[in-house]
Amino acid sequence: MEHRLQELRARLQEIDDLNSAAAILSWDQSTYMPPGGAAARARQLATLSRLAHEKSTDPELGKLLAELMPYAETLPYDHPDAALIRVAHRNYERMTRIPTDLVSEIAAHTAASYHAWTKARPENDFATMLPYLERTLELSRRVADCFPGYDHPADPLIDFSDYGMRAAVIRELFARLRAELTPLIRAIVAQPPIDDSCLRQYYPRNDQLAFGEHIIRRFGYDFERGRQDLTHHPFMTKFSVGDVRITTRINEHDLGDGLFSTLHESGHAMYEQGIDPAFEATPLCSGVSAGVHESQSRLWENLIGRSLPFWEYFYPELQQTFPQQLGQVPLDTFYRAINRVQPSLIRTDADEVTYNLHVMIRFDLELALLEGNLKVRDLPEAWNARYAEDLGVTVPDYRDGVLQDVHWFGGLIGGAFQGYTLGNILSAQFLAAARAAHPTIDEEIRQGEFATLHGWLRENIYRYGSIFTPNELIERASGSPLRIEPYMTYLREKYSAIYNL
Ligand code: ZN
């Protein structure tokens, strides 16, 4: 068995090497590549992804895993070898269920759709995207049908990003969250709006970058095993446990844009940097789900990075960095500015309270499309109606309406959005658990110290990589299954104080 296990590791490592090489090419494409490199880069990425797919679906790998599965069952459930075999087997089953022809059809279609979208969005042109989207929906259904026995066609698609979650469970969870969020948002909107003009002054790029990097170094992001570069749409990427990179973008007329994006991506990156290095180059060596990953980015960005104790420590430093802009602005004004709640059109610009409504709209529309209860041609109308109803805003055009997010235009329909709100909910659940274990955490944050919090996250979440399922990890780390109460308590306490509710 030891010999078989070694062969498994060698095969998985090759797959990981190919995927990591592709990740480096993608990172370069989004940061430094000159436009002239685009065509060759697309080809290079396609080659690497084809090789990785061939190796991931190699029948020899399937045979090896079938031999190893009974052995895995003799080991304790949380033994790394048992988990490795289990997760590799699950991935193999999943990848081989989808016929190779369908995989290449999807790859070709989503590349073409993405390309069309990059032109159609600025031109406010939904008509061009309509046939693409209809085909995307058809392909998404066909992928779902490769996994018969589902309750909802979105279930297999949700499983790819948030393993073990179900449309019905999320729908019920979101309905409860929505019922609690709506009155809170209504009460906030009834208050005088917060003036956030202090954030919209001229903030030179390099000072912004240096300040953001100073903060995430204090959080515990390891620059010996990472770096930050500039891009258009910030992301985190990993090539190995020793090389986990983040990207940000700077708007010299909006301080919040780059700073909070840096804090957000550092949360994703610290998760990946904190995985047990023994899992390197195996499927265990990555964050366990979209939702849990997002909980880590949101925790550092919002629950820490937009909190008053945090800025009690760091605001004087920020004022020293930008004396002209903030020297005369009191802490309270700045704190309220970075936490301004304002129902708006664009998900990625939304505040942390209304953000979830944007996600729920997309999630409900995805389910309706997959069920066949909503036609793609009626999607813009349904979108606009929900924005009017849920957020009270009028959608002026397709560009800032149904065309705004890349997800449906560069990927499948289903499973891409729920993780953002699951992450918000979990961020508060995990922080509450960390506080219960270490009541000194808040005092430490007020001193600009994060070692206890970072240590708790590493000990209870990061290091496990994908050993447990998301639901197992949530329960082990926080003592209960996913629940909305800690999140709603957090939002109510914070925003009642800010808006004098
Ligand atoms: Zn994120």
Judge whether residue 427 has pLDDT over 90: yes
CB atoms within 10 A of CB 462: 20
| Share above pLDDT 90 across residues of the chain, in percent, rounded to a whole number | 98
Average pLDDT over residues 315-320: 98
Among 309, 207, 223, which Cα is nearest to 259's? 207
231 pLDDT band, cuts 50/70/90, is very high
Alpha carbon of 297 to ligand 1 centroid (Å)? 6
Alpha carbon of 405 to ligand 1 centroid (Å)? 14
Alpha carbon of 311 to ligand 1 centroid (Å)? 22
| pLDDT given for residue 1 in this prediction | 87
CA angle 111, 114, 116 (to 5 degrees): 110
| CATH fit for domain 167-499, picks 1.20.120.160, 1.10.1370.30, 3.40.630.30, 1.20.1250.20 | 1.10.1370.30
Locate the domains of the chain by residue range.
2-150, 167-499
Average pLDDT over residues 44-53: 93
Radius of gyration of the chain (CA): 23
Question: CB within 5 A of ion ligand 1: which residues?
Answer: 297
Alpha carbon of 59 to ligand 1 centroid (Å)? 35
With contact defined as beta carbons under 8 Å apart, do 452 and 438 qualify?
yes
16 pLDDT band, cuts 50/70/90, is very high
Cβ-based neighbours of 62, under 8 Å, separated by 6 or more: 92, 96
Average pLDDT over residues 30-40: 94
Q: What value does the mean pLDDT of the chain take?
A: 97
| pLDDT given for residue 436 in this prediction | 98
Task: Please give the Cα distance from 373 to 370 (Å, whole number).
Answer: 8
Q: Read off the pLDDT of residues 87-143 as tens digits, 9 standing for 90 and up.
A: 999 999 999 999 989 998 998 899 999 999 999 999 999 999 999 999 999 999 999
| pLDDT given for residue 310 in this prediction | 98
With contact defined as beta carbons under 8 Å apart, do 429 and 487 qualify?
yes
Catalytic position from the list 67, 73, 123, 265: 265
Told to judge if 265 belongs to the known catalytic residues of this protein, a careful annotator would answer yes
Q: Read off the pLDDT of residues 159-187 as tens digits, 9 standing for 90 and up.
A: 999 999 999 999 999 999 999 999 999 99
251 pLDDT band, cuts 50/70/90, is very high
Cβ-based neighbours of 118, under 8 Å, separated by 6 or more: none
Alpha carbon of 248 to ligand 1 centroid (Å)? 12
